[in-house]
Amino acid sequence: MKKVFITTAIDYVNGSPHIGHAMEKIQADVLARYHRSLGDDVYFLYGTDENSLKNVQTAEKEGILVKDLVDKNFQKFYAMKEALNLSLDDFIRTTEERHIVGVQKLWEACSQDIYKKKYKGLYCVGCEEFYKEEELTEDGLCPEHRVKPELIEEENYFFKLTNYADKIKKIIETDELKIIPQSRKNEYLSFINSGLQDFCISRSAERAKGWGIDVPGDKTQKVWVWFDALVNYITALGYGSANEIKFNEFWQGDGARLHVVGKGITRFHVIYWPAMLLSAKLNLPKVVFSHGYITVDGQKMSKSIGNVISPFDLVEKYGTDAVRYFLLREIPAMGDGDFSYEKMEKRYNSDLASGLGNLFARTLAMIEKAGLNKDFAIEPNEYTKKEVADVRLSYADNFINLNETLAEIWKLVASCDKYIDQEKPWSITDEQKQKQIFSNLLYVLKNIAEMINPFLPQTAEKMFLGLNEKQGVFNIIKGESLFPRI
């Protein structure tokens, strides 16, 4: 049994979750469920980033304590677990004691690469990072948030990233740390070649308004939120605690370590995080899966525009698996995509209601009408077996391209619809021939259910219940519609 550790980014809690957060969690959940289906021992983690300046500023605007803000808002992100049917093993908050002690332990483990100096720079609170002037837009704005960074002058602690530039370049070039997709790998190799600089890893306790994790041995400084946040991946496993069994199993062992993060924060995960781990002499992640962004009706999601889409509202309207399907099928796994209610309903009606849902319902109804719904057992023909085997092969070889994998599965749905229309099994009087047709259809449906299980677990479960198959014998049970038309 291989150990597989899968994480997403932890989320800022100065607002509510949107569909971008939901997509990332669903992508990671699909990968976790897939690896469990292979017999791997999976640990799936996500959580909330609660020590950022954003939270301090939001709490000030709302006139409440920062602790009260984060205690209230983290629950919204935790609630995605149930709403999106996430097979989560752990949820970490960066205000938890287990995290604080782990961050301070890692700081001390990196102490040989940490020094203090006075610094003046342009800081974007939204990104929680300093920018060089040449990294800003022509208007002098943060390229990510399109706001003017603050000019900050302080004496802070710095990490000697320059000590690790060559090592990081090598681990990326050789895929010791594999970056998916290839385009992102090329982007960060280019970034390294342009010259890395040491980075600031603390802020004054005064600027942080006293919020955050104390720098070990210096209470006038708080640990910079990214140095703090990245460590969640190992503090959740027990790093720094009295019990590091999970840390040794899932991080220091030989298994897979996969981070699923957005392209805007990939740099932290493939450059800063590996450098910190190298300094502390700990294992590195093995894969960073860098996904794109979701726009809404062609525009970036923005509170000021009023186009932020809540995943909870979508689930209430369309159902969990329909939301999972849209975000996994419509949005390219490694690129940007667009959401609109028109696209959502088109996918729902064509792929789910009229597609898989209709195929499943009509097949079971035909078999029941023919009186073959009990103790039905017959081998599918060789053509059907090969058709399924071809999709299975593509499924195994290209699973990480989640949208393409779903498209391959849905080819079987279209093939079955075409097969039914051609063969017209309801009009066949030859019982053996009719049984063969139904057998082919049941075989494909069973395989579809197995393959969609990581993607649409509730739908797969309904299909397994309806097929009611044991050792090749089907006892059909007609249930509720998989996807009622809207």
Distance CA 287, CA 181 (A): 10
Is 165 within 8 Å of 192 (Cβ atoms)?
A: yes
The total number of structural domains that make up the chain: 1
Element (H, E) at 115: strand 114-124
Select from 5, 19, 81 the least CA-distant residue to 336: 19
CB count, 10 Å around CB of 193? Answer: 10
- Sequence-distant (≥ 6) Cβ neighbours of residue 415 within 8 angstroms: 387, 444
- Report which residue type is found at 416: C
Q: What is the mean pLDDT of the chain?
A: 95
Chain centroid, CA 143 distance in Å:
23
Q: Which residue has the tokens 């990245």?
A: 230
- Lowest-confidence range among 150-154, 271-275, 332-336, 340-344? 150-154
pLDDT at 344: 98
Is 148 within 8 Å of 169 (Cβ atoms)?
A: no
pLDDT at 133: 73
Distance CA 141, CA 157 (A): 25
CB count, 10 Å around CB of 218? Answer: 12
pLDDT at 479: 86
Percent above pLDDT 90 for the chain: 88
CA-derived radius of gyration, the chain: 26
Residue 149 lies in a domain: no
Torsion of CA 36, 38, 42, 46, to 10 degrees: -60
Residue 351 lies in a domain: yes
Distance CA 54, CA 126 (A): 7
Helix, strand or coil, per DSSP, at residue 82: helix
DSSP state, 376? B
Q: What is the CATH number of the domain that holds 356?
A: 1.10.730.10
Angle at 111 between CA 109 and CA 114, to 5 degrees: 135
Peptide linkage before 181 cis (omega within 30 of 0):
yes
pLDDT at 128: 67
Does residue 134 have a pLDDT over 90?
Answer: no
Distance CA 149, CA 151 (A): 7
Residue 375 lies in a domain: yes
Residue 439 lies in a domain: yes
- State the pairing for strand pair 90-93/114-124: unpaired
CB count, 10 Å around CB of 436? Answer: 19
pLDDT digits (tens, 9 = 90+) for 44-75: 999 999 999 889 999 999 999 999 999 999 99
pLDDT at 126: 65
Query: And the tokens for 139?
Result: 């208007």
Residues with a catalytic annotation lie at: 18, 21, 124, 127, 142, 145, 300, 303
Distance CA 185, CA 175 (A): 9
Q: What single string gives the DSSP state of each residue in 270-305?
A: IIIHHHHHHHTT-PPPSEEEEE--EEETTEE--TTT
Q: What single string gives the DSSP state of each residue in 32-72?
A: HHHHHHTT-EEEEEEEEE--SHHHHHHHHHHTS-HHHHHHH
pLDDT at 332: 96
Does residue 17 have a pLDDT over 80?
Answer: yes
pLDDT digits (tens, 9 = 90+) for 150-195: 887 789 999 999 999 999 999 999 999 999 999 999 999 999 999 9
Distance CA 410, CA 69 (A): 44
Chain centroid, CA 273 distance in Å:
18
pLDDT at 216: 97
Distance CA 10, CA 31 (A): 17
Select from 172, 423, 132 the least CA-distant residue to 274: 172
Distance CA 33, CA 25 (A): 12
Select from 81, 454, 1, 47 the least CA-distant residue to 256: 1
Structural domain boundaries, residue 358: 340-474
Distance CA 19, CA 292 (A): 12
Element (H, E) at 266: helix 266-267
pLDDT digits (tens, 9 = 90+) for 362-396: 999 999 999 999 999 989 999 999 999 999 999 99
Residue 429 lies in a domain: yes
Distance CA 211, CA 57 (A): 11
pLDDT at 153: 78
Chain centroid, CA 64 distance in Å:
31
Does residue 197 have a pLDDT over 80?
Answer: yes
pLDDT at 145: 61
Select from 209, 198, 200, 204 the least CA-distant residue to 222: 204
Does residue 87 have a pLDDT over 70?
Answer: yes
Residue 308 lies in a domain: no
Taking each helix axis from N to C terminus, what angle separates 358-369 and 402-423, rounded to the nearest 10 degrees? 30
Element (H, E) at 441: helix 431-452
Higher pLDDT residue, 127 or 322?
322
CA distances in angstroms from 187 to 206, 270, 271, 333, 479, listed in the order given: 36, 11, 12, 18, 50
Residue 305 lies in a domain: no
Residue 197 lies in a domain: no
Does residue 143 have a pLDDT over 90?
Answer: no
